[in-house]
Amino acid sequence: MNQELVLVFDFGSQFGQLIARRVREQNVFCQLVRHDITAERVKELNPKGIIFSGGPSSVYEAKAPKCDPKIFDLNIPVLGICYGMQLACHTLGGKVAPAAAREYGRATLNVTNADQLFRGYPPESTVWMSHGDQVHTMSGDFVPLASTDTCPVAAVKHTSRPVYGIQFHPEVSHTPHGGQILANFLRDVCGCRGLWKIQTFIEETVQTIRAQVGDKRVICGLSGGVDSAVCAALLVKAIGPQVACIYVDNGMMREGETDLVRHTFRDWYKADLSVVHASEHFLAALQGVTDPQEKRKIIGRVFVEIFKNEAKAIPDAHFLAQGTLYPDVIESGGSKDGPAATIKLHHNVGGLPAELGFELVEPLRDLFKDEVRRLGIELGLPEDVVWRHPFPGPGLAVRCLGEVTAEKLATLRKADTIFLDELHKAGWYRKTSQAFAVLLPVQSVGVMGDGRTYENTVAIRCVQTDDFMTADWSHLPHDLLARVSTAIINRVKGVNRVVYDISSKPPATIEWE
């Protein structure tokens, strides 16, 4: 799609996707690939540069992940980070061994040879280290570029190959000037011009969609979430009336969800939209069910049944659109055609492509979440759609602990709406990553007026995260929490207690079920 491509080899680093995102921030298109991708496949992809990620292994161990050594013969610039540096040095003649002491956390880097990699970089700066091994001896082909007090070889350069290595992590925020190193590598070493932008992506993807679907129709399942909304908007831009959108209201959506979807796509985009009101079907199937996983399975099964019936009524439909994002896909090392892929199927399409004989259209599969939001703004989606917090596929069913009933959902929906409204009023909604209310299967004693009550408990949850793989609870102001609690108890019948969830992920998950 884009002539300027950089590959990030994944050696098991927790920061692999973060490296890719940092490269994208320099307007250079980047893909995360398996560490064992072949040199032949790399040559076909023709990247401008390669970055080796860190990883938890030691390069001298028999089962440590390695790259195809022929990679170094392609004359493609390589930047090794942490384990990636050790692997490059180990493969090209250096010796890696355990350090005298494991180095984890902030360290002071002293640049001794700026070269291209450290051009414009402070002679002394803070960097983030996380390693137990070090490069102890180098072949005569490597020269050191920087050091710390405990790591004499903190950065290196090969004398005859375009291979660099750094022992620290430039991609994390704890390395304040790390972006400068990545920018220098991309611009000065790889020769990238920073041509990849969202508008370019739109133009190229529109052409790709048109070439793929021809004059056939595409079904797009809308969930009310950001990904499916942006996917639908991009499809409408590309092929207009050929897109048929289906939105299944399972009765477990947030307040105003159905109206927002209807207004955005039927009124604003003039899209062909079918809204299926199916709350009774879902509630009947969930009657008496309390197990979280069973609830998810039932909701998925009923959704597929309803969606299939609706899809079959759309003439000349040959494709099914899915809002797969890049974090859900990683390229296999062996296949010429790219991902043999580990793809996380979204609940709202599941196995439908195979069941209906449809081919998948995945126009967002090269994007990260923050890029999807930027794309949505560029496509003209309303900000209240683009910046909505993530919402689980089964909806409020997994935030209504225990059996799901219409009455309990109504209580939860009111409490959730109050919480989100208060966050908006206080200017905290965009500062947080995800916020919601949970109705607990717990009653407690309270006093309201002069009487004793025995009513429901609502938990409120609010987290900060970059990737949703880990998350910390949001430190909301106490006066804001007090307003939320008072509003919920006063305005939601049947609730007399509100608690705030201060668990991080891990060990807890973001959702309660």
Closest CA to 217 of 238, 248, 247: 238
- 198-386 classified as CATH 3.40.50.620: yes
Q: Tell whether the model's pLDDT for residue 378 goes beyond 90.
A: yes
CA 495 distance to own-chain centroid: 35
Out of 69-73, 145-149, 259-263, 327-331, least confident range = 327-331
Out of 236-240, 325-329, 436-440, least confident range = 325-329
SS3 (DSSP) at 126: strand
Alpha helices by DSSP H, 31-82? 39-45
Alpha helices by DSSP H, 16-107? 16-24, 39-45, 83-91
Q: Is 12 annotated as a binding residue?
A: no
Strand partners, 111: 146
Calculate the average pLDDT of the chain.
88
Say how far apart CA 440 and CA 292 lie, in whole Å.
Answer: 13
| DSSP tag of 511 | S
Per DSSP (E only), the strands in 290-408 are: 317-321, 359-361
Segment of 185-189, 253-257, 319-323, 442-446 carrying the highest mean pLDDT = 185-189
| DSSP tag of 42 | H
Q: What is the pLDDT of residues 226-268, one digit of tens each?
A: 888 999 999 999 999 999 999 999 999 999 889 988 988 888 7
Under 8 Å between Cβ of 250 and 279 = yes
Say how far apart CA 354 and CA 345 lie, in whole Å.
Answer: 12
Note the pLDDT of residue 286: 96
Segment of 237-246, 382-391, 445-454 carrying the highest mean pLDDT = 237-246
Q: Kindly report the CA angle at 35 between 29 and 39, in degrees rounded to 5? A: 80
Under 8 Å between Cβ of 399 and 290 = no
Task: Report the chain's terminal Cα–Cα distance, integer Å.
Answer: 39
Please give the structure tokens belonging to residue 278: 């199916």
Say how far apart CA 428 and CA 387 lie, in whole Å.
Answer: 12
The top-level CATH class assigned to 5-189 is alpha beta
Q: Tell whether the model's pLDDT for residue 314 goes beyond 50.
A: yes
Q: What is the pLDDT of residues 61-91, one digit of tens each?
A: 888 999 999 999 999 999 999 999 999 999 9
Share of the chain above pLDDT 90, in %: 59
Q: Tell whether the model's pLDDT for residue 98 goes beyond 90.
A: no
Does the N-terminal peptide bond of residue 315 adopt cis geometry, omega within 30 degrees of 0? no
Q: Is 229 annotated as a binding residue?
A: yes
What does the domain layout of the chain look like in residue ranges?
A: 5-189, 198-386, 405-500
Under 8 Å between Cβ of 44 and 74 = no
Catalytic residue among 35, 90, 169, 389: 169
Q: Is 130 annotated as a binding residue?
A: no
Q: What is the pLDDT of residues 280-290, one digit of tens each?
A: 999 999 999 99
Catalytic residue among 35, 131, 158, 171: 171
Note the pLDDT of residue 243: 94
Residues whose CB falls within 8 Å of the CB of residue 102, separated by 6 or more in sequence, listed in order: 131, 132
Q: Tell whether the model's pLDDT for residue 6 goes beyond 90.
A: yes
Note the pLDDT of residue 64: 92
Note the pLDDT of residue 361: 92
Report the topology of domain 405-500.
GMP Synthetase; Chain A, domain 3 (3.30.300)
Catalytic residue among 4, 30, 67, 82: 82
Q: Kindly report the CA angle at 467 between 465 and 473, in degrees rounded to 5? A: 20
Q: Is 99 exposed, middle or buried (0-12, 13-18, 19+ CB in 10 A)?
A: middle
Q: Is 227 annotated as a binding residue?
A: yes
Identity at 129, one-letter amino acid code? M
Quick check: do 5-189 and 198-386 share a fold? yes
Q: Is 224 annotated as a binding residue?
A: yes
Please give the structure tokens belonging to residue 80: 């090794």
Note the pLDDT of residue 174: 85
Active site annotation includes 171: yes
Say how far apart CA 25 and CA 370 lie, in whole Å.
Answer: 11
Note the pLDDT of residue 355: 67
Residues 342/348/354/356 CA torsion (nearest 10 deg)? -160
pTM for this prediction? 0.77
Under 8 Å between Cβ of 282 and 252 = yes
Residues 124/126/130/134 CA torsion (nearest 10 deg)? 10
Note the pLDDT of residue 3: 72
Under 8 Å between Cβ of 205 and 236 = no
Look at 149 and 186; give whichever has higher pLDDT.
186
Under 8 Å between Cβ of 363 and 239 = no
Q: Is 444 annotated as a binding residue?
A: no
112, 121, 345, 456 from 118: Cα distances, Å: 10, 5, 42, 59
SS3 (DSSP) at 9: strand
R_g of the chain computed on alpha carbons: 26
Active site annotation includes 169: yes
Note the pLDDT of residue 68: 95
Q: Is 133 annotated as a binding residue?
A: no
Residues making up the chain, counted from first to last: 513
Which residue is listed with tokens 């089964």? 394
Strand partners, 453: 446
